Structure 1
Amino acid sequence: MQFKTLLPLALIIFLSSSCGSPRHISYLQGLHPEVAEDIRQQTVIRIRPKDKISIVINSKDPLLADLFNLPIVAHRVGYATNSSMNINQQVSGYTVDTRGEIDFPVIGKIHIAGMNREEIAAFVKNELTSRNLIKDPVVTVEFMNHTISVLGEVNKPGRFSIDRDKISILDVLGMAGDLTIYGKRENILVLREDSGKQIPYVVNLCAGLELLSSPAYYLQQNDVVYVEPNSMRARQSTVNGNNVRSSSFWLSLASLLTTVAILIVK
């Protein structure tokens, strides 16, 4: 009789302990409106060597503006560049050299490393107007090769293009379809290259203030985000996941013991 009483109780305790705790699942815990002033300033993406950007000049005089624009090129796999069949036209881009400079038409070498898109547009516009090259230029700057890679326990791992001046880790994880149920939300690795060195950051999605104050909350171009699998996923990486540490093993054992107990009582 004691065995009959203790077996269901042990099974309930085991199942309760095996369930994931909400404190390891819910994002941004501990955030309240009154702590908004403690959140760090937003970090915009700034240009680095080897980045590629497009700079397009528009004006009331399009022929004059074209003097400062790189040529538009046509790309179509399987066809000649002069073919009229399904040609995609793209604006040529500037690749920032190791000194942080680009060679701009007429103006010449300009240093843009460390600038964001708004600052680059303002700088080019000032150069054009101060030299009396164009009176009314409209300067548009776009990223061309800025990406972030997301690996590990997410629903859609891959490399994602950046088209904004600032992008958070939550934005990128949303683009990757969010974490799977097997992803460790409190131990996400962000790998960032800075001055030729790879710098790792650990991000905790569950701790709201810690997350928003992290230097890795706002991502930079070429960052790599890795979501580590939890212990349940690690156990599933065995041949059949059915070892003594797996929940399936203990559930099978509990089912067997229950069947045996019923047979004994009968």
Structure 2
Amino acid sequence: MRKLAFLLFAFSFFCSCIPSKDLVYLQGEPLSKKEIHRINNIPYKLQVNDIIIIDIKAADSKLVALFNKKQANGANQEAQNGGGYFSGFTVDAHGNIRVPYIGEINVLGYTTKEVRLKIEGELAKLFKKAEDIFVSVKLDGIRYTIFGEVANPGPKVLYQNKVSIIDAISNAGDIALTGDKKKVEVLRLSLGGRKKFLIDLTKIEALDSEVFYIEPNDYINVIPLKQKSWGTGTTGLQSLTTIISVFTLVTSTILLVRGL
């Protein structure tokens, strides 16, 4: 009886704890590669609801003022903190943006470079010295939504040109102990349709995944480990405490029944 109880105790203890190897990111030795995967370097193509920042510079400040959006003098601080939402150009449901004095330009499925060339072409029709005008177009950060076993789930935005899934998770407060780093889901809504990927963040091979670098509007789902549903604890001490409590309860119940 004692041996059976000990075996049951040991089995429950080791099964309920989360192994340390499941907690460490990017384990293993990286392979030396001369070529960078092309899939991670394909330019992003704009989608509906994306926000882009268009900056036009020229020697003539009056000319620049015609095109660049500015906050009104009476704008409140909250509006200014909104960044690109107020000063950028949002891709509407038809895939267009409205640029002052140029009108609607379709940008759906175009890269930021292609949009820049489009705007430069339109400016060339309006001004004789269009070559003196400098245009830059970029995304207003990379927006994504993360949920599941992270410290701070919800919509996020990082003002970078490129964001890895490690950056995205770190920005959400990291994965909790109850989160499964081996099966992180990435849901991607692209022009080609909806796609779902799984990435194992405990292996160094994750660096070569096509979703290691996220895209705007990605959804990241950190699935909970089975230990969370078992409710026995995530650390050795928590598991030990739970098992001792259960064992004590069972023993007390048996003694009480025998006493009756």
Taking structure 1 as the reference length, what is the TM-score of the superposition?
0.71
Q: What displacement does 1:163 show?
A: 2.3
State how 1:3-42 maps to structure 2 within 5 Å: 3=2, 11=9, 15-35=13-33, 37=35, 39=37, 41-42=40-41
Pairwise CA RMSD: 3.8
Higher RCO structure (Cα 8 Å, ≥6 apart): 2
Give the drift of 1:35. Answer: 4.6
- The question of 1:128 aligning with 2:123 is answered yes
CA contact 1:143–1:162 (8 Å) conserved in 2: no
CA contact (8 A) 2:47 2:191 kept: no
Identity of aligned pairs, percent?
27
Distance 2:69 2:79 in 1: 18
Unpaired segments ≥5 residues, structure 2: 234-238, 253-260
Partner of residue 46, structure 1: 45
1:56–1:140: 8 Å Cα contact kept in structure 2?
yes
Matches within 5 A, 1:1-266: 3=2, 11=9, 15-35=13-33, 37=35, 39=37, 41-73=40-72, 75-76=75-76, 88=80, 92-125=87-120, 127-129=122-124, 132-144=128-140, 147-195=143-191, 197-209=193-205, 211-236=206-231, 248-253=241-246
Contact 2:147–2:153 (CA<8 Å) still a contact in 1?
Answer: yes
User: What is aligned with 2:236?
Assistant: none
Name the CA shift for 1:136/1:28 in 2 (closer, same or farther; >3 Å).
same
The alpha-carbon deviation at position 182 of structure 1 amounts to: 0.6
**Equivalent-residue separation in structure 1 for 2:56 and 2:6 (angstroms):** 75
Q: With structure 2 as the length reference, what TM-score do the two structures score?
A: 0.73
Deviation at 1:153, TM superposition (A): 0.7
Partner Cα separation in structure 1 for residue 20 and residue 222 of structure 2: 18
Aligned position for 1:81: none
Alpha carbons of 1:232 and 1:16: their partners in 2 closer, same or farther (altered >3 Å)?
Answer: closer
Q: Following the alignment from structure 1 to structure 2, what is the Cα–Cα distance between the partners of residues 121 and 163?
A: 20
Distance 1:133 1:97 in 2: 31
Tell me by how many angstroms 1:132 deviates. Answer: 2.7
Q: Is the 8 A contact 2:98 2:104 kept in 1?
A: yes
Number of residue equivalences? 242
Q: Deviations over 1:73-126 (max 9, x none)?
A: 45438xxxxxxxx98496633232444333333444433223333443354345
Give 5+ residue unaligned stretches, structure 1: 78-85, 241-245, 260-266
Report deviation, 1:202: 1.7
Q: Secondary structure at the match of 1:41?
A: helix
Shift of 1:166: 2.2
Task: Give the counterpart letter for 1:21 in structure 2.
Answer: P
Q: How far apart are the structure 1 equivalents of 2:79 and 2:191?
A: 39
- The structure with the largest helix share of the pair is 2
Distance in 1, matches of 2:95 and 2:107, equals 6
